[in-house]
Amino acid sequence: MAGRARRWTRADLARDPLSVARSLLGTHLVAGPVTLRLTEVEAYWGTGDPGSHGYRGMTPRTEVMFGPPGHLYVYRSYGIHWCANIVCGTKGECAAVLLRAGEVVAGHDIVAARRPDVRERDLARGPGRLTVALGLHGDDNGAALVGRGSPFVLTAPADPVDDARVRTGPRVGVSGPGGDGATYPWRFWIEGEPTVSTYRPGKVRRG
């Protein structure tokens, strides 16, 4: 028998980012009239993670990542597009999960208008496309995901994704120590989902 969907709470997010990342697969993120079913995410874990924005400590840009959990961390990537993360863990820890891809399950017409002439699978396939699909931008940095009056809603799936369909591997586009797939296999995705993005290793920048 199918279970009942429920809204996530701050306690659900007050865990390590690897556990949260796995649990986020299959959840629904609601932003106004648009709902996405998350199919791919990546975990980032602060000062012990070279791939994290918080690796070198708190800055004005990364303050949101240091908690409390239950908020969005939204940043501009390469000056081109916005990326959205869900802050988790405990306050001061700097833990977050990047939202990499999702399936549009409500608000198709609105997403299609935001991303015209795009195939269904590509509407939110990749972190930059995902934020466009949801209408997220820099002003949403720090916005609440949980609690009464939050502008967004995160809902657990009625039927959790089977462990047999969950895959893990290196994070996309992360170079250096943080891109070591053996040490940081912190990308989680649902096998067989067409919305999951294509893996690309990080490029080493030459000075």
Domain residues for the domain of 78 are 6-173
Query: How many domains, in total, are found in the chain?
Result: 1
Domain membership flag for residue 134: yes
pLDDT at position 186: 95
CA 185 to chain centre: 15
Other C-beta atoms closer than 10 Å to the C-beta of 87 total: 25
pLDDT at position 3: 54
Which residue positions in the chain have pLDDT lower than 70? 1-4, 202-207
**In this structure, which amino acid lies at residue 111?**
V
Query: What pLDDT, in 10s, does the model give residues 98-144?
Result: 999 999 999 999 999 999 999 999 999 999 999 999 999 999 999 99
Domain membership flag for residue 194: no
The string of DSSP letters for 67-82 reads S-SSBEEEEEETTTEE
CATH of the domain at 152: 3.10.300.10
pLDDT at position 108: 96
